[in-house]
Amino acid sequence: MLVIKIGNGIGAGVVLDGRIHGGEDSAAGEIGHVVVDPDGPDCFCGKQGCLETVAAVPYLVATLRPLLPGAPADVRGLFQRAEAAAADGDTAVIAVIAAAARHLAKVLTTTVAVLDVHRIVITGSVSAIGPLLLAQIAADVEQAILPTLAAKLDLCYGHTGDRAVRLGAAALVLNRELGVA
């Protein structure tokens, strides 16, 4: 299973064979700094076009806000307004959401294929964008992986909200100290 937290950055928690997988350098799941657009915006890590620069919350807010005048000031409200605009056929809003989803799918496709994970849970305020983001990610991932993997893929939003990082840290401690997955 992968738990993808999309907030100011993008990171993943990796669970393999019922155990949290941290990797050799405890960097497993550091997907936010995978370059998905070599000509994309500069990233604070020094590279250009990292996933975070084209799909994290700050990018989505900066790109969607001008398209949705009068939208609520809070991120969740903005994303809910974007969902409604997309449902009403707003092609500019749909294009922004679809582009972010495609960038996410680029990274998740390889991750699913390499790790053979069947469940991806996306958490964070992006869940307020609704089904369009998930549908685009699912379509792109399923098109790019083996049909046997695609048939088993379960992609959904998590309900941990802003608690995802704290819950993940607690799970990591339980896993390391007590062997509890």
Residue 132: pLDDT over 90: yes
pLDDT at 82: 97
Instruction: Please compute the mean of the pLDDT values over residues 34-53 and round it to a whole number.
Output: 96
DSSP bridge pairs for 14: 2
Let me know: does 171 contact 178? Beta carbons within 8 Å: no
User: Sorting pLDDT into bands at 50, 70 and 90, what band is 27?
Assistant: confident
> Which domains does the chain carry?
2-21+28-178 (3.30.420.40)
What is the spatial distance between Cα 81 and Cα 157, in angstroms, rounded to a whole number?
18
Single-letter residue type at 64: L
Let me know: does 14 contact 56? Beta carbons within 8 Å: no
Chain segment 86-126, per-residue pLDDT in tens:
999 999 999 999 999 999 999 999 999 999 999 999 999 99
Let me know: does 85 contact 137? Beta carbons within 8 Å: no
Q: Where are the alpha helices (DSSP H) in 11-130?
A: 51-55, 57-64, 75-87, 91-115
Let me know: does 33 contact 52? Beta carbons within 8 Å: yes
Instruction: Please compute the mean of the pLDDT values over residues 36-64 and round it to a whole number.
Output: 96
Which DSSP letter does residue 68 get? S
User: Sorting pLDDT into bands at 50, 70 and 90, what band is 26?
Assistant: confident
Chain segment 136-166, per-residue pLDDT in tens:
999 999 999 999 999 999 999 997 555 545 5
Instruction: Dihedral sign for Cα 110, 113, 114, 119, please.
Output: positive
pLDDT at 160: 59
Rounded to 10 degrees, the C-alpha dihedral 100/98/122/13 comes to -40
Instruction: Dihedral sign for Cα 114, 118, 124, 127, please.
Output: positive
